[in-house]
Chains A and B, each alone.
Chain A
Amino acid sequence: MPKALRGVLIPLTVLLLLLLINVIKDVDFLDISNVNGALYGNIPNILFGATELVIITIGMTLVTSASGGQDISVGVVATITSAVFIQALAAFGPVSWLSVAGALVVSCAVGALLGLFNGTLVAIFRIQPMVATLILFTAGRSIAFLIDGKVSPNLKNAVTTQIGGVIPGVPIQTPIILTVVVIAVFAVLFKLTNLRLYTQTVGINEKAARLNGIDPVKVKLLVFVILGICCAVAGFISVCKNERHDSVNLLKLIEMDAILAVALGGNALIGGKFNLPGAIIGAYTIEVLNRTLLRFGISPDAIKAVKAAFIIFLMIVSSPVVMSLLDKARGKIAGRLEKSASDKYGGPKTEGA
């Protein structure tokens, strides 16, 4: 297991540190209470609150890996797809589990289409992902507003309330279960397809990928479509939680959190090899960070600034210049250690493999 642990070391450390800070501030932090047969408390709330972020982060990780850029339209895509979801649900007549599922499928299809739009700009027209996704980022919320019919429709019914909250008799809040389901779906996807191999190969060396028979364009389109579907699912869960579709504020700024989670999880933002467990833990870490800052009395708006400072710090530490400086320093220290070791033991000593 140590190898698997190494990949998630940084986000896990930050996560545990944040939890520790919370526990120090408030000893009851880890308490879990049972209300009407369901579990509540800080930990379940974190898991509950991070649902959308985790799901979008998964897709963002794949897009980052294959395209070497990030999609900043994720929150907007989720807003559009959830608007479509509500309209579809209304069109399907009386609300039932079946009609909700049907509307979800429709919204996922729309998400896939929007992903395909972004993917086409990136893969075929070779536009930097962030610029390509800027288009939807700009226009998307207005589109959602028009789909809504210029109001913020409510979503109050037995089924979606249960999806956004608790299903009677189940002790765990439904979004938490859905997060697990989505992660499981991806685990199966990785098992049954070569998604991981193809995505990483394209991200690491596009030319070599082509010479080995992989079509980089198709792979990039695919990851953007997957991200689009992830956004649709996240948007669906979000409207179910909020019981209302607010095109202006739904999942606002989640693109920032998702990019941060991907980076925190040890993924290079310029693409290549990816670490999905790291990114998922990174997403939970961001959620805990948000909540911790709130608990410490920092206003929701100021949190933005703190997170921005955090991301700048993260980028500085991982920047090529600082990295090479660190490498040099490490080399110097290692050299000195080696020297002192050889002085002590009378022979050169190399570090263990």
Chain B
Amino acid sequence: MTKLKENRVPLSNANLLFIIAAVILLVMYLFAIALFPESFTQPQTFFDLFNNNAALIILACGMSVVMIGGGIDISVGGVCGLVTMSCAVFLQSAGADVGRSVLLALAIGLAFGALQGFLIAYLEIQPFIITLAGMFLANGVMTIVNSTPIRVELPAFVALFETKLKIAWLGTVNRHGMFIPCKISISMLIAVGVIVAVALLLKWSRFGRNLYAVGGNAQSALMLGINVKRTRFLSYLLCGLLSGIAGYAFLLTTAAGNVGNASGFEMKAIAASIIGGTMLTGGVGNILGSPIGALSLLTINEIIRAAGIDSNIQTIISGFLLCFFIVLQSVIIWLRDRSGGFKLQRPPWLKASLRTRDGEAP
């Protein structure tokens, strides 16, 4: 048998898209530094992207999970908002404590995940329409729970809210020559924890690998002995759980409930996932891509804000980016179909290159 070299392995779509995403983030950040050196060279600016947007990053993770499984979840923003509001109201009620508010957050998230997952996986209803309804349901319930802005003043929670981790070795020196260490909020820690946990889950667990298989080709996955329905159900359940966690993380960054909480986050989460290299068609994606995608979006927003441009431009540019990446994916799929289709006879030059890839020729 021919000895095969590891470096012959062609770049998979997932890795290609992931690298594109990482490069884009890097270029964008360098661009930001070039434009606004005094702000973007400070490490704290970068950490603040994380600190202030932990919820979005967590949602993007959940979105990536369902998208890898070949589905989509529009309700993440709605559920996140509902959790934030519910927990805020709960924490302001008599006899509340932080522990039970966390349980409440997880329970709401799991409930939505379970309901939607059941309908999509076991009743085979289109995910888009069910989760769209789920989004409106969550929105509606949120306004029923409470429709006025509410601040959380429970001392235990406020203490948690104000807790910041300092990194002693990283920071900036201010005008007065004082060293200010970088600060990390609890919500950022949660986000990092979620990313690590989900990434490990997808790489090392049976569920994670089954999820990729189901997203890649559900029919084949079934033939390979995978419980496709249960895998799909679990992916929505996980996404729901992450939405619940994201809701709490949102509360930890704002310490307030508001009707506008997390509105429009579903789109940002989808955009972050797609930019991060997760394919809408399922089966392709890297969890580490979602925070990268989210940070790319946030960096653009920061640039626009720093430049003093209208915030509406932010949304428009986000939409434009989303469009660009969706079309890019579509083109990649088209190219792949053209070369790898079962029915097509491959041109000689391609045959030769494939043979090379099998490690036989030259």
Contact = CB atoms under 8 A, between A and B. Distances in A.
Contacts of A126: 330, 334
Contact of B322 (A130, A134, A303): A134
Interface stretch (A18-26, A194-202, A233-241, A317-325): A317-325
Contacts of B264: 138
A154 B130 CA distance: 37
B339 interface: no
A143 interface: yes
B126 to A, nearest CB: 7
B219 to A, nearest CB: 16
A155 interface: no
Contact of B128 (A127, A130, A309): A130
Contacts of B318: 138-139
A137 B137 contact: no
B134 interface: yes
A134 B140 contact: no
A135 B322 contact: yes
Contacts of B136: 253, 256, 304-305, 307-308, 311
A111 to B, nearest CB: 18
Which of B128, B134, B141, B322 counts the most chain A CB atoms within 10 A? B128
B139 interface: yes
Contacts of A141: 315
Contact of A145 (B280, B312, B322): B312
A308 B310 CA distance: 34
A270 B124 CA distance: 12
B126 A305 contact: no
Contacts of A312: 119, 130, 133-134, 137
B140 A301 contact: yes
Interface in A233-254: 253
Interface in A299-342: 299, 301-309, 311-312, 315-316, 319-322
Nearest to A146: B312
Interface string B291-321: 0000000000000000000101111101110
Interface in B55-111: 72
B328 to A, nearest CB: 10
B315 A315 contact: no
A259 B130 CA distance: 12
B139 A305 contact: yes
A307 B126 CA distance: 18
A131 interface: yes
B129 interface: yes
A269 interface: yes
Interface in B304-362: 310, 312-316, 318-320, 322-323, 326-327, 330-331, 334
Contact of B267 (A127, A138, A146): A138
A304 B123 contact: no
B132 interface: yes
Given A136-B319, A142-B313, A121 B326 contact: yes
B125 interface: yes
Given A319-B125, A321-B122, A308 B280 contact: no
18 contacts: A70-B129, A127-B280, A128-B280, A134-B270, A135-B319, A135-B322, A136-B319, A140-B319, A143-B312, A269-B126, A299-B143, A301-B144, A302-B143, A305-B137, A308-B135, A319-B123, A319-B125, A321-B124
Given A125-B327, A127-B280, A320-B123, 16 more contacts: A128-B128, A130-B128, A131-B72, A138-B264, A139-B316, A270-B126, A299-B144, A308-B133, A308-B134, A308-B135, A309-B133, A312-B134, A315-B119, A315-B126, A319-B119, A322-B123
